[in-house]
Amino acid sequence: MYCLPDSAALKSALNATLKTFEENFYKYFDVGAYASYIADIYKAWKVIAITVGVAVLASILYLLILRCCAGVVIFFSIFAIIGAFGAGGYWLYYTRVQYEVADPNYKYMTYGAYALWGVAGTFFLITLCCLSRIRLAVAIMKVTSQFIYRTPSTLFLPVIFFILVLAWLLFWVFLAVYIGSVGTPGPRPAPL
């Protein structure tokens, strides 16, 4: 013998649940704002597609540059950082003359210049101490860029996982909203 639920009672309970869900959904979420966001994305889909295409092409170009001259790019980046700290210190030191010696800004700019020069010097010394590791990193970058150049399908792996994670997130958000809209929260009676 089977016990089947009454279809009229089941339909009534389902309708009540859906009505509660709809009321809570429109009560707690500004649907008009989300519709506006989606409309903005719909209007700008060409720009987004072009941006994604340019980003992919730029990454492939960067991989080609790394494959050919990774050492130059990495050492240029390191010395550009050191130069930026040094130039920042120079700028602070020589623009401090706009203030009087008794002005606190004069002191702050002088100390800031010394601090930036200290950071640049420390970074330069760390670079000298780590030259062998930097050369190893350059070799690893060259091999990595060759691998990605030879197997370009690896560039699409993050896109696939992004889509999967987004679908998973949407599924769980839907479930959380559904569970949150069913019934009224309240304390449970204490067990005896």
Instruction: Map out the domains of the chain as residue ranges.
Output: 38-179
What is the amino acid identity at position 85?
F
**pLDDT tens for the 192 residues of the chain, in order:** 556 666 777 778 778 888 888 877 777 777 777 788 888 888 999 999 999 899 988 888 887 887 788 888 888 999 999 999 999 999 999 998 888 888 888 899 999 999 999 999 999 999 999 999 999 988 888 888 888 878 878 878 888 999 999 999 999 988 888 887 776 767 777 776
The set of residues, in sequence order, having a beta carbon less than 8 Å from that of 41 and lying 6+ positions away, is 48
- Following CA atoms 114, 119, 120, 123 in sequence, which dihedral angle do they give, to the nearest 10 degrees? 160
What pLDDT is stored for residue 3 in this prediction?
Answer: 63
What pLDDT is stored for residue 133 in this prediction?
Answer: 93
Decide if 109 contacts 95 (C-beta within 8 A).
yes
Q: Which residue has the tokens 């993050």?
A: 158
What pLDDT is stored for residue 6 in this prediction?
Answer: 64
Q: Quote the pTM value.
A: 0.51
